[in-house]
């Protein structure tokens, strides 16, 4: 009994050390691979080569030729040719039917009275002409309507036949002024960063009724504000808008390359990045940077294999360059059997921003709770290493950077990073999807002060950051693709260590939920807080178990992981007791009694239902419901009570093992807003009617 208490005390000590801060001896940091191999990777990886790819593909935002729509887009041709040059084992361009797409040709906005001045020109900046604008030749008075997105903005102002200036979002301004009030067109100076960069032009588009839709121009905040000031002083300004555009049929271009594994070629990992952020917009950091980075990862592997400094990986490594989401989905569906063999997805989106200029850091958006994976911990290990060795540590002075990863023309900035919760909105959501099941992460530089604007150009990128991003992902990918029993053991140990850090932070979150609760809500706050802690332990347990896929059948690894998992379980039991004790003391201070909350009626019902995916789910992606005569619009509206942000994760949690209450509880731990079991039951009913689940 005494021994048991000592063991538990050790676990709890480790637990609290986790959230006290990752304080490790400043000379000690190591990666999962050898220091010799680290040096070889640093030496071979070139931020300059990666940057040259960015310049070749996105030095400026160019108009598309009609020939590209008929054949292959320039970026896909470039990547394909480079992949052939570098010697990938397989290289191909695949084509998938896409919807017809808008193409801008001419977009000019002139002031013709009282001055003759060009305000905006599509040939100068492609972002000025809003995607979706229809051909027009209009001369009209320019009128200012404030934001132009609400009824009161138009009181006493007749905008019919006029061109409207406003600071509201372009699509909303167009909807209110053109579709609802028959304005001739709109000029928006809405901006993501009006103070930081008042001259950047955002990439905004318009939509709506085809018959009523006209055109819109996007201006930088500074330029729009100049016009506003003149109009508010009573000056009458007449402008002429000239727009030429067309709708072009096109095909999604997907470049796929691979490096074949030497021992387990039928197991694989996959790197992804989107070559196309739409077709009209061509962002340098978003996401030609990711496309350039995975191309450089592939070149690095192949060159090191060729010169004998790197062993060919045990597993196959795939690379795909895609149109964001819209191209990833059909590619996965076509290759679903191949994708099912993939262990993990590393999706590089926006990885090359100049950090100090953009006020950002390099962030790892982890897998969701539904996809627990060692992948997160492998990447954290390498990111932590780069952060430690690429900053000046007071204890180590005057060593400066102990292992500098710097490009010749890049910055000398220290490396900053964060490990964050899951975030979607990129191609990894397709791999994580409930019909696919491959754990996927997104490393990303954020914030990006030039995001989705005319300022997303190579001048705001950094070859040093590209080199570091390539290093982090190349080392992480190789560690997994080449993992054997010993590497799996290292990864399990890291996951165990990082797990206590995460658990400590979640315990802190749980106690703070109690601290911030109003007295009358204390019991409900404890219910959520205890679930947060419970889900954290479940997640860590499943993360540890995921390591076993790297060495299937190895008894030593299995026993080691099992022992670590038992430690987590013991610690979890003790921490749940500690949290209840904290709840009791908090309640006592408020003259309340700490009562363990009971299940609601809907929670009791949810506990009895275990949804199972049907065969239709295999390869099914997206959040829409399949067309069916069984569901009326009224029924869909009635049962769609769950928040939209939660739908993807709700679906991913349906595995035939979790009951509806467990799904509810897992959602509740991941999202800021509470999750009601009845909302989950409602949505499951919709999925049942759609034929996607059985209950």
Give residue-wise pLDDT tens across range 191-209: 999 999 999 999 999 999 9
Give the residue-averaged pLDDT of 54-78: 95
Give the residue-averaged pLDDT of 406-428: 97
- Pairing of the two strands 90-97 and 251-259: antiparallel
* pLDDT at res. 462: 99
* pLDDT at res. 395: 81
- Is residue 19 pLDDT above 60, yes or no? no
Cis omega (within 30 of 0) for bond into 479: no
- Is residue 160 pLDDT above 80, yes or no? yes
pLDDT in tens, 475-520: 999 999 999 999 999 999 999 999 999 999 999 999 999 999 999 9
Give the residue-averaged pLDDT of 363-381: 98
27-41, 156-170, 389-403: range with lowest mean pLDDT: 389-403
* pLDDT at res. 30: 87
Give residue 146's Cα distance to chain centre.
Answer: 33
Cα–Cα distances in angstroms (integers) from residue 227 to residues 69, 119, 158, 265, 293, in the given order: 37, 10, 19, 62, 41
With H, G, I as helix, E, B as strand and everything else as coil, classify residue 215.
coil
Q: What is the mean pLDDT of the chain?
A: 94
Give the residue-averaged pLDDT of 269-284: 94
- Is residue 343 pLDDT above 60, yes or no? yes
Could you tell me the pTM of the whole model?
0.94
pLDDT category, 629, cuts 50, 70, 90? low
- Is residue 16 pLDDT above 50, yes or no? no
At the top level of CATH, which class does the domain 101-248 belong to?
Answer: alpha beta
pLDDT in tens, 207-222: 999 999 999 999 999 9
**431, 428, 441, 433: which is closest to 362 by C-alpha?**
441
Q: Compute the chain's Rg from CA coordinates.
A: 28
- Main-chain dihedrals φ then ψ at residue 663, nearest 5 degrees: -60, -45
pLDDT category, 438, cuts 50, 70, 90? very high
- Is residue 616 pLDDT above 60, yes or no? yes
- Is residue 22 pLDDT above 60, yes or no? no
Please report where in the chains the tokens 């007791």 appear, as a residue. Answer: 577
CATH 3.50.30.30 domain residues, the chain = 101-248
pLDDT category, 123, cuts 50, 70, 90? very high
CATH 3.40.630.10 domain residues, the chain = 34-98+252-481
**568, 565, 561: which is closest to 547 by C-alpha?**
561
* Concatenated DSSP letters of 471-489: HHHHHHHHHHHT--HHHHH
398 or 191, which is more confident? 191
**212, 216, 211: which is closest to 241 by C-alpha?**
216
**25, 15, 24: which is closest to 502 by C-alpha?**
15
- Is residue 39 pLDDT above 50, yes or no? yes
- Both tokens of residue 242? 């000239």
Give the residue-averaged pLDDT of 7-27: 50
- Both tokens of residue 254? 């997907």
Q: Using CB atoms within 10 A of its CB, is residue 368 exposed (0-12), middle (13-18) or buried (19+)?
A: buried
pLDDT category, 529, cuts 50, 70, 90? very high
- For 672, half-sphere exposure in the C-beta direction (CA atoms, 13 angstrom radius) is 2
622 or 56, which is more confident? 56
pLDDT category, 129, cuts 50, 70, 90? very high
- Pairing of the two strands 251-259 and 264-276: unpaired
CATH architecture of 34-98+252-481: 3-Layer(aba) Sandwich (3.40)
Give the residue-averaged pLDDT of 522-527: 98
Cα–Cα distances in angstroms (integers) from residue 238 to residues 10, 115, 198, 243, 451, in the given order: 77, 9, 24, 17, 32
Cα–Cα distances in angstroms (integers) from residue 440 to residues 329, 364, 428, in the given order: 14, 11, 5
């Amino acid at each position: 009994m005494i021994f048991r208490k000592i063991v538990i005390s050790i676990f709890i000590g480790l637990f609290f050390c986790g959230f006290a801060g990752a304080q490790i001896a400043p000379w000690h940091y190591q990666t999962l691979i050898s220091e010799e191999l680290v040096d070889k990777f640093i030496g071979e990886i070139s931020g300059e080569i990666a940057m040259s790819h960015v310049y070749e593909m996105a030095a400026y935002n160019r108009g598309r030729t009609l020939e590209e729509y008929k054949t292959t887009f320039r970026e896909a041709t470039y990547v394909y040719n480079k992949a052939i040059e570098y010697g990938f084992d397989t290289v191909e361009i695949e084509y998938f039917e896409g919807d017809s797409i808008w193409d801008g040709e001419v977009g000019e906005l002139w002031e013709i009275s009282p001055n003759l001045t060009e305000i905006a020109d599509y040939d100068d900046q492609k972002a000025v002409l809003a995607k979706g604008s229809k051909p027009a030749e209009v001369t009209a008075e320019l009128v200012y309507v404030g934001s132009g997105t609400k009824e009161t903005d138009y009181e006493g102002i007749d905008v019919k036949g006029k061109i409207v200036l406003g600071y509201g979002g372009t699509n909303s301004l167009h909807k209110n002024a053109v579709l609802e009030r028959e304005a001739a067109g709109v000029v928006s100076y809405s901006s993501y960063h009006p103070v930081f960069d008042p001259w950047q032009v955002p990439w905004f588009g318009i939509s709506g009724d085809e018959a009523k839709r006209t055109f819109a121009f996007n201006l930088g905040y500074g330029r729009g504000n100049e016009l506003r000031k003149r109009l508010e002083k009573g000056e009458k300004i007449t402008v002429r808008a000239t727009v030429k555009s067309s709708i072009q049929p096109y095909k999604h271009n997907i470049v796929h390359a691979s490096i074949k594994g030497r021992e387990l070629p039928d197991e694989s990992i996959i790197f992804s990045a989107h070559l196309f952020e739409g077709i009209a917009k061509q962002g340098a950091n978003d996401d030609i940077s990711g496309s350039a980075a995975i191309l450089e990862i592939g070149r690095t592997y192949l060159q090191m294999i060729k010169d004998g400094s790197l062993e060919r990986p045990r597993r196959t490594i795939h690379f795909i360059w895609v149109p964001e989401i819209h191209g990833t989905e059909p590619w996965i569906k076509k290759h679903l059997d191949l994708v099912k063999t993939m262990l993990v997805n590393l999706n590089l989106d926006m990885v090359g921003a100049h950090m100090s200029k953009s006020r950002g850091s390099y962030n790892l958006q982890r897998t969701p709770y539904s996809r627990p994976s060692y992948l997160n911990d492998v990447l954290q290990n390498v990111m932590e290493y780069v952060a430690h060795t690429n900053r000046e540590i007071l204890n180590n002075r005057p060593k400066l950077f102990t292992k500098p990863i710097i490009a010749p023309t890049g910055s000398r900035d220290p490396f900053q990073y964060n490990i964050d919760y899951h975030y979607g909105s990129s191609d990894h959501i397709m791999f994580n999807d409930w019909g696919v099941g491959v754990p996927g992460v997104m490393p990303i530089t954020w914030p990006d002060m030039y995001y989705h604007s005319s300022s997303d150009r190579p001048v705001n990128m950094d070859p040093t950051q590209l080199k570091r991003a390539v290093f982090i992902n190349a080392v992480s990918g190789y560690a997994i693709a080449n993992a054997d029993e010993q590497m799996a053991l290292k990864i399990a140990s890291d996951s165990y260590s990082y797990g206590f850090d995460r658990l400590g932070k979640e315990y802190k979150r749980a106690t703070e939920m109690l601290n911030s609760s109003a007295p009358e809500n204390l019991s409900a706050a404890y219910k959520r807080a205890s679930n947060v802690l419970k889900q954290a332990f479940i997640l860590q347990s499943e993360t540890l178990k995921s390591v076993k896929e790297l060495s299937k059948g190895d008894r030593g690894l299995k026993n080691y992981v099992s022992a670590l998992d038992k430690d987590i379980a013991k610690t979890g039991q003790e921490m749940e007791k500690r949290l209840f004790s904290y709840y009791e003391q908090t309640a006592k201070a408020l003259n309340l009694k700490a009562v363990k909350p009971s299940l609601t009626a809907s929670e009791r019902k949810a506990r009895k239902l275990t949804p199972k995916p049907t065969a239709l789910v295999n390869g099914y992606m997206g959040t829409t419901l399949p067309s069916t005569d069984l569901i009326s619009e009224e029924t869909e509206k009635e049962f769609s009570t769950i928040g939209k942000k939660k739908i993807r994760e709700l679906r991913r949690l349906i595995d035939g093992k979790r009951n509806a209450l467990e799904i509810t509880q897992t959602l509740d731990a991941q999202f800021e807003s509470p999750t009601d079991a009845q909302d989950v039951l409602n949505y499951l009913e919709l999925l049942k009617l759609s034929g996607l689940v059985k209950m």
